[in-house]
Amino acid sequence: MVRVAGIDCGTNSIRLLVADVDEQGRLTDLDRRMEVVRLGQGVDRTGRLAPDALERTLDAARRYAAICAELGAERIRFVATSATRDAENRADFVAGVRDALGVEPEVIEGVEEASLSFRGATSVLAGKHPGPFLVVDIGGGSTELALGTTSVVASHSMDMGCVRLTERHLHSDPPTQEEIAAASADVVAALDAAAREVPFGRTATLVGLAGSVTTVTAHVLDLDEYDPHAIDGAVLPVDKVLVASRELLTMSRAKRSRLPFMHPGRVDVIGAGALVWSDVVSRVRSEVGIAGGRLRSVVVSEHDILDGIALSAAERG
pLDDT in tens, 202-240: 999 999 999 999 999 999 999 999 999 999 999 999 999
Q: What is the DSSP letter of 316?
A: -
Tell me if the domain spanning 2-108 has CATH number 3.30.420.40.
yes
Predicted confidence (pLDDT) per residue in 235-272, tens digit = 999 999 999 999 999 999 999 999 999 999 899 999 99
**Which CATH number, 3.30.420.150, 2.30.30.30, 3.30.43.10, 1.10.569.10, labels domain 121-301?**
3.30.420.150
Angle, vertex CA 314, rays to CA 308 and CA 317, nearest 5: 135
pLDDT-based confidence at residue 132 (cuts at 50, 70, 90): very high
Domain boundaries, the chain: 2-108, 121-301
Topology alike, domains 2-108 and 121-301: yes
Q: What is the rounded distance in angstroms from the CA atom of residue 117 to the CA atom of residue 179?
A: 30
Q: What is the rounded distance in angstroms from the CA atom of residue 203 to the CA atom of residue 285?
A: 9
DSSP H/E element including 12? none
